[in-house]
Structure 1
Amino acid sequence: MVVPHHATGARLARHRLADELAALVSPARLADLVAVLAELVGNAVRHAEPLPGGVVRVAWRLRAASDGGQAVQLRVTDGGSVAGPLIRPSAPDAVDGRGLHIVAGLASRWGVERDGLGQSVWAEFDPVRSTRPDLVPAG
């Protein structure tokens, strides 16, 4: 999907992702996906140039894993920036600077790809396997 290179772009992307994946992934997984997508789009709007037309491209892909679970990849493509995305230290009382910490904490892995048109920041989520029987999803 294509969203405006504006704060409203993150809201539009979150809602569309939630609508499309609500029946396909668990509520806990969906909450993680929505949080990471919001961070990636927000970072694109705040730190990168737009693609032609003043937009950011957002995509997600689900694929079946060998254990029957769903692996998910999110990808946000923008016009790029002088300094690429980096996790930076932030003080406990800082009002920003935690976005990629959130991405790294929730996703299985993340990275950046650049080409002549801009950059894509992606995050992958491995299938969810319950390893803690004492934890039960809320709801």
Structure 2
Amino acid sequence: MAPRVASRPVPDGDAWARSALAQLGRVRGVHRAGLALTEGGGRRLLFAASDRDNEPSVDWCEVDVYEEVPLNHSVRTGEAVLGSLEGLAGRYRAFTERQSPKTSALACLPIVAGGHVHGGYALFYDQPQSFERPQVRELEELGSRLGAGLRRVQRGAPPCSRSLQDQPVPRGAEVATHSVAADPRAVATARHFVLNTLAAWGVDQRSVDIATLCLSELVTNAIMHTDTGCDLRLVLDRGVLTTTVRDGGSTVLVDPSSVPADPLAVHGRGLQIVDALATRWGSELDAVGMSVWFVLEPG
């Protein structure tokens, strides 16, 4: 099953971020805290830490989600990374060597709401930690509370433009967009657009086949459930392909629990296919429409 990840950080969410960093900093034994939020669903994360100057605005920086550090692993997979700095050195040696001598243990967990991973948080402890089940449960609940607060801010944010052409693109990435009419026959046109674009970019055939299949299912769903058509966007950033379908009429957020268990069910099979084949996928709903995206990693 592909981990579900929400794709866009909150516009004007600095108040939430400062509050989140303050909550994390109050965890007993923690001398530093970090936050990472997904951006665009592909390679980028926005990162902020409690030891930065976050006034009057939060000091975010972009990081590569594929950099081999514990927090990135939690965001990509939805798994917790817990342990002593010494114990984590075998897998994350370059990361552990950069840490302050004050850090004795580390906890990295996903920020989750509505079944989606919206990002993750990191706690740097100055004393050894046992990370027994009660403590881990408290950390998981903290991630859920942060996620619930983040969702409230997202829902209250001004609506973004429907056009995917207005969305930011990573520097140096390949990008292509296409508008799909509200007509079932337009699915074939969208499929050819994906095939031709990815072939021109030199994407491997397996990824082309998966992207075309998943894209076809999402476009079909968008046309079935709205009368506005949809836009699609392909972004190839250092080998990672992110495909987004955005409609202008959905009113219900895609809930991961709604993916049907019955493989013969008609409604929702598109999401089931995406869930089975994509590396990660996610969705977001605003006052203008719905965006659903999926990521394919090389290899």
TM beyond 0.5: yes
**Which structure has more RCO (C-alpha within 8 Å, separation ≥ 6)?**
1
- What is the CA RMSD across the aligned residues, in angstroms? 1.8
Q: 1:95-106 counterparts in 2 under 5 A?
A: 95-106=266-277
- Give the alignment's TM-score, normalised by structure 1: 0.76
Q: Structure 2: how far apart are the matches of 1:113 and 1:83? A: 10
Q: Structure 2: how far apart are the matches of 1:56 and 1:122? A: 13
Matched residue SS, 2:245 = strand
Identity of aligned residues (%): 36
Task: Specify which of 207, 213, 225 is matched with residue 35 of structure 1.
Answer: 213
Displacement of 1:43 in angstroms is: 0.8
Q: What amino acid maps onto 2:252 in structure 1?
A: A
> 5+ unaligned residues in a row in structure 1: which ranges?
65-69, 129-139
Displacement of 1:84 in angstroms is: 2.5
Q: C-alpha offsets along residues 107-128 of structure 1, whole Å, 9 cap, x if unaligned?
A: 1111112233111111111222
Matched residue SS, 2:185 = helix
Q: Structure 1: how far apart are the matches of 2:217 and 2:190? A: 11
Task: Specify which of 49, 60, 63 is matched with residue 234 of structure 2.
Answer: 60
Runs in 1 of length 4+ with deviation above 3 angstroms? 90-97
Q: Structure 2: how far apart are the matches of 1:93 and 1:105? A: 15
> 5+ unaligned residues in a row in structure 2: which ranges?
1-177
Q: Structure 2: how far apart are the matches of 1:45 and 1:98? A: 15
Q: Answer yes or no: is 1:16 the counterpart of 2:185.
A: no
Displacement of 1:22 in angstroms is: 1.5
Displacement of 1:80 in angstroms is: 3.3
Partner of 1:72: 241
Matched residue SS, 1:10 = helix
- Give the alignment's TM-score, normalised by structure 2: 0.37
Q: What amino acid maps onto 2:237 in structure 1?
A: R
Matched residue SS, 1:15 = helix
Q: C-alpha offsets along residues 21-54 of structure 1, whole Å, 9 cap, x if unaligned?
A: 124111111100000100110110112342xxxx
Q: Structure 1: how far apart are the matches of 2:270 and 2:205? A: 21
Displacement of 1:96 in angstroms is: 4.4
Q: What amino acid maps onto 2:247 in structure 1?
A: D
Residues 49 and 81 in structure 1, CA contact (< 8 A), matched pair in contact too: no
Moved more, 23-32 or 77-86: 77-86
Matched residue SS, 1:117 = coil
Displacement of 1:74 in angstroms is: 0.4
Matched residue SS, 1:94 = coil
Residues 108 and 124 in structure 1, CA contact (< 8 A), matched pair in contact too: yes
Displacement of 1:98 in angstroms is: 1.5
Larger Rg, first or second structure (1 or 2): 2
Q: Answer yes or no: is 1:123 the counterpart of 2:297.
A: no
